Structure 1
């Protein structure tokens, strides 16, 4: 297989892209075609489960080749032909099964989850039953059946899902999960037998030159059941460690796999396979380099590879042959074309927030993107030219105001932004201060560049009041005045600051501080301060941190939760702040009072909609629209999505 460039679209669960028969629906086809149109050389579809007699995957969730082979063949033909029109290649990812990591809701009729051995289910207290040899053989045959169907449909190759992330094949390959004593347990070669039989089956039935790749994690980062090792943490690996991972890579080459698609981690250390912003960019490159040095077959590497300099260095160093982009291609389907044409400043950045992608998948919705409302809805949400060009005044230059201006300009309207402060971005400005939130600031720069490219008029240091609204001749007015931090007084003690003032350097918290509020903002602020040598204690009224406004995606939640003690951040939960003192703050916890020594108190107890202007002019007779946090305090995703929705309909 020859690729036109070294960029691949990484496989991501195609939730929402199946029709009732297990084929591809129009959403799924448009989703992949948009990335082919955007310049990527290779597309690897998300997982399509084969028939595993031990697992019953629910209808309508993702495409499944053998659910209705005719429907799958017909719709796959359309997908493949359209992708090939852009000189891109496309591989079908086939999944052997979930095993112990299958979602509880997928266990139809109270079925017991399966695994290589009777081990703990990932999401419940159930004990898995051991998969039978007959079920293994049936799954291998189904892999072959599905590959033959894919080849008939025109797919350029197959990727096997997966000896990675703790899925069924990975459980068989890892001694921590595999306690069998038959031919599928014991030695490494035996534990890899399942994966070997699959590639043998496909090569025998599809031909030895039909490409078959493997998604592979050479290291597990497992401390124990449901416990993952953090970056920089010293721990005993209970899963697969790198030396065994390299031995396995050599065996996969010997078995006949044509490429290895590298990441690390399992569902017990999920923040490695689905890295949040708290992981470094290019985090898999060292592991890909080790594998690349150990084998002669091609290596594919994903994992926050959106920085072109990191990607180029990995290729030049021989760490990888192909750079795989997952979430960055959700954020911007045209990433490759923009990079190729020298318009890197117009590439919409991925925030690694996982709200629209993994978070939506966990909620059993379609895969989407927080910063790209059209992702997964390319056809339905295609922008149409306005019937009549209107002048639209936008009050507020946060993400909602900027997104509304972008969409309006693309449709032929004339938006004009009025921002009271000296810069666009709103709450993204303080939110982007921590090193791990760099992409929040990149999103602001993207809006600045995009709006300039579209010729949108922007007025900074331009507050708007009732008189300005009354005098405006705009056809429509969008009020996107954002939100302000909730504050309360604690007089007579150490100084009290807002989280935003501390993040922006307006206020110095000193060497020891107490953060009131253990939501997402409070925890990220704590992490930022701890990285700069500040002793931090979080006081949270709920029973645990991140219970309110916490990350939707479990990988983000899991990692941030584990980082608190690892970074030395103390947490006091089920606690209420009573008063400040010259020495710190007094809290009520467990029926008694306790004083926590600190030099300051930082309030991170949420935000309140700033609707003052809207309330003053709502009865003015003007065509008004309320957007963003001014309408309802939410997150970046809904601020952008709501703005897109309203602006696309004006």
Structure 2
């Protein structure tokens, strides 16, 4: 069996896990009810990942404090808000998880402090160890009193006791990690106290020590307590994080102090360390976008593993099983945590064990369905898996009669529609004008940091092959072809076309897609018109190849209209642009390109930029002409994806799933 070492047992304290995979904790927004218990969505969500073979389920963050940093309800579960209700809903969930041989730990938080996401904050003033600036708001946080610290510590004991009664096998403490409240106490930059909770490292870790001691005293020494732990902070200054490879002076916790911290935390009684690096001031580390390399935490986990004698968990784009197996074999970690990959495919572990690697739906690290929606809408979902955290309400609908459905377009929307129709028992037939499936995933996946876009396109190819969906390439569908087919329903998912306009010497003016796919060579010096996501990623990719790149954007800042982008993705990309030498001109209007000179009007002045080519990344237009020709002649007709409204991969897939799952 390949990757056998990932399917050997491992112990955390007294608890034995059946394999080396854990569901990494992710914010359970939308998975709680108004009484602080787990709602049906939450129960189904965690159970589905256990059913998929994951050895350890770690819930997203929950709270036990009801007095200091009170939360708007329902926000996240709370183990002390209504203990009887929490225990009852937990027991229903943990019993189902245990049926699959999985273990489940409750993640318990001391609070967010200065990093509370404003959309989830309510009207409560932010707290912190000291009077320090809030991460997002223009506010100074209120220092916690010693009495409040003691109150929070006691709530951990109460909450863990209720968790144990509810069937949880252990807890994970949130966290001396990412700059949350316990981490703010641990880091001298944030902790300026002069009492017993400030000053020396031991004093700054006192809060975390009291938490584990309280839980062990209430639940017993054999009840496992894991700690979410960041070895290094990656902070250049307040609200300023470091990029990979950047030389900087660490203002937070450096590696030397981090290793000493790890040793002390284990000495205090923590049974495992769930390890990464970063803080909210540099949160593209803790929430790594596609611009971070895969397995980015491996070297840091190895340092911790060599310093302590308890299990180390490693997350951070660890979805490649070859990499995961190497990490365990090399002693870099004991357990591989998968967060977003298990949003994308809850059956990841079972598919891998069965040797069905190509069947695993890939995470594309866009963070639009998970972190983006947590930020904006207080709910966790997944861009490529519409059923994530909605398992019951999006279950595949049964059909009464198999129907023939024509699907026009082989992009993400068309592929998802055909897949869902076939899974349900209908007979879809897909028509694509090009020579491969994927649509905009193909040019979008050209940069090496977007490799998972191509993996998603390949996944759809495999799915449609396995489902025996007929796919016709090099086929331009017209009205007569549709009408002659006598289909029961027709789906138009013809995608979009890049917006183009004349600048003068148009033979050297290319849409971004043509450059990304290698159809056109942009030369050594180029200007990208359009500073949206496509323009910025194209510019970054070219700059990494050594090209001289300038972005010209009409608005006053880059990526002004993209969204909801996760801030980790957007903030990192914004900083990577100048870091790689890409020049940016904003509030500028391009007026022409002649003789190798691009002219732009900026603040009333004409700017001249010498360049070998101009790349247009100014958006797309819906390709809905076939739909308009058919809309009064085909009784059951649907318009999906960019053909309906130019958007992103998430809404292309979600809308296609919604429609295809309800065609009778």
Range class of TM-score, shorter chain: over 0.9
Residue 62 (1) aligns with residue 85 (2): no
Cα distance in 1 for residues equivalent to 2:634 and 2:547:
52
Residue 97 (1) aligns with residue 111 (2): yes
Offset of 1:61 from its aligned partner? 1.1
Cα distance in 2 for residues equivalent to 1:241 and 1:645:
48
Asked if 2 retains the 8 angstrom alpha-carbon contact of 1:220 and 1:240, the reply is yes
Partner of 2:61: 47
Offset of 1:365 from its aligned partner? 3.2
Cα distance in 2 for residues equivalent to 1:341 and 1:370:
25
Partner of 2:33: 19
Residue 131 (1) aligns with residue 144 (2): yes
- Which of 348, 353, 359 pairs up with 1:340? 353
Offset of 1:54 from its aligned partner? 2.4
Cα distance in 2 for residues equivalent to 1:520 and 1:535:
19
* Gap change, CA 1:106 and 1:460, over 3 Å in 2: closer
Residue 556 (1) aligns with residue 560 (2): no
Asked if 1 retains the 8 angstrom alpha-carbon contact of 2:119 and 2:376, the reply is no
Partner of 1:634: 647
Offset of 1:384 from its aligned partner? 2.3
Partner of 1:6: 20
Partner of 1:507: 520
Instruction: Tell me the alpha carbon deviations over residues 235-269 of structure 1, each in whole angstroms, 9 at most, x when there is no partner.
Output: 11101011110000000111010000011101100
The SS at the match of 1:633 is coil
The SS at the match of 1:198 is helix
Asked if 1 retains the 8 angstrom alpha-carbon contact of 2:41 and 2:391, the reply is yes
Residue 396 (1) aligns with residue 409 (2): yes
Partner of 2:48: 34
Cα distance in 2 for residues equivalent to 1:417 and 1:436:
29
Partner of 1:87: 101
Cα distance in 1 for residues equivalent to 2:564 and 2:547:
24
Residue 453 (1) aligns with residue 463 (2): no
The SS at the match of 1:197 is helix
- Which of 486, 500, 510 pairs up with 1:487? 500
* Gap change, CA 1:421 and 1:492, over 3 Å in 2: closer
* Gap change, CA 1:393 and 1:15, over 3 Å in 2: same
Partner of 1:583: 596
Partner of 1:377: 390
Asked if 2 retains the 8 angstrom alpha-carbon contact of 1:494 and 1:599, the reply is no
Offset of 1:104 from its aligned partner? 3.2
Within-5 A mapping of 1:232-271: 232-271=245-284
Higher alpha-carbon deviation: 54-63 or 275-284:
54-63
Within-5 A mapping of 1:132-151: 132-151=145-164
Cα distance in 2 for residues equivalent to 1:591 and 1:79:
63
Higher alpha-carbon deviation: 617-626 or 339-348:
617-626
Asked if 1 retains the 8 angstrom alpha-carbon contact of 2:120 and 2:378, the reply is no
Offset of 1:287 from its aligned partner? 0.4
Offset of 1:618 from its aligned partner? 1.7
* Gap change, CA 1:105 and 1:391, over 3 Å in 2: closer
Task: Please report the RMSD computed on the Cα atoms of aligned residues, expressed in angstroms.
Answer: 1.0
Cα distance in 2 for residues equivalent to 1:492 and 1:567:
28
Offset of 1:466 from its aligned partner? 1.4
- Which of 286, 298, 303 pairs up with 2:311? 298
The SS at the match of 1:602 is strand
Partner of 1:647: 660
Q: TM-score under structure 2 normalisation?
A: 0.97
Partner of 2:233: 220
Offset of 1:532 from its aligned partner? 0.7
Cα distance in 1 for residues equivalent to 2:594 and 2:506:
4
Partner of 2:92: 78
The SS at the match of 2:661 is helix
Offset of 1:581 from its aligned partner? 2.3
Q: TM-score under structure 1 normalisation?
A: 0.99
Cα distance in 1 for residues equivalent to 2:237 and 2:562:
28
Partner of 2:421: 408
Cα distance in 1 for residues equivalent to 2:119 and 2:406:
47
Instruction: Tell me the alpha carbon deviations over residues 128-166 of structure 1, each in whole angstroms, 9 at most, x when there is no partner.
Output: 111111000000000000000001111000100000010
Offset of 1:103 from its aligned partner? 2.8
Cα distance in 2 for residues equivalent to 1:541 and 1:434:
25
Asked if 1 retains the 8 angstrom alpha-carbon contact of 2:409 and 2:433, the reply is yes
Asked if 1 retains the 8 angstrom alpha-carbon contact of 2:290 and 2:364, the reply is yes
The SS at the match of 1:363 is helix
Residue 310 (1) aligns with residue 304 (2): no
Cα distance in 1 for residues equivalent to 2:361 and 2:89:
30
> How many positions carry a matched residue from both structures?
649
Higher alpha-carbon deviation: 111-120 or 2-11:
111-120
Asked if 2 retains the 8 angstrom alpha-carbon contact of 1:520 and 1:551, the reply is no
Offset of 1:594 from its aligned partner? 0.7
The SS at the match of 2:527 is strand
Within-5 A mapping of 1:592-603: 592-603=605-616
Asked if 1 retains the 8 angstrom alpha-carbon contact of 2:596 and 2:613, the reply is no
Offset of 1:107 from its aligned partner? 4.7
Cα distance in 1 for residues equivalent to 2:419 and 2:94:
32
Instruction: Tell me the alpha carbon deviations over residues 17-38 of structure 1, each in whole angstroms, 9 at most, x when there is no partner.
Output: 1111110100000000000000
Residue 179 (1) aligns with residue 177 (2): no
The SS at the match of 1:189 is helix
Instruction: Tell me the alpha carbon deviations over residues 486-536 of structure 1, each in whole angstroms, 9 at most, x when there is no partner.
Output: 000011477111100000111111100000000000000001100111110
Cα distance in 2 for residues equivalent to 1:634 and 1:379:
26
Cα distance in 1 for residues equivalent to 2:392 and 2:184:
39
Residue 118 (1) aligns with residue 128 (2): no
Offset of 1:551 from its aligned partner? 5.6
Offset of 1:286 from its aligned partner? 0.5
* Gap change, CA 1:551 and 1:380, over 3 Å in 2: closer
Residue 529 (1) aligns with residue 551 (2): no
Unaligned runs of 5+ in 2: 1-14
The SS at the match of 2:614 is strand
Higher alpha-carbon deviation: 174-183 or 550-559:
550-559
Cα distance in 2 for residues equivalent to 1:386 and 1:311:
40
Cα distance in 2 for residues equivalent to 1:362 and 1:615:
37
Unaligned runs of 5+ in 1: none
- Which of 535, 547, 557 pairs up with 1:544? 557
Instruction: Tell me the alpha carbon deviations over residues 367-410 of structure 1, each in whole angstroms, 9 at most, x when there is no partner.
Output: 10000000011011100221110000111100100000010001
Cα distance in 1 for residues equivalent to 2:507 and 2:248:
39
Cα distance in 2 for residues equivalent to 1:568 and 1:551:
27
Asked if 2 retains the 8 angstrom alpha-carbon contact of 1:8 and 1:40, the reply is yes
Cα distance in 2 for residues equivalent to 1:486 and 1:52:
53
The SS at the match of 1:513 is strand
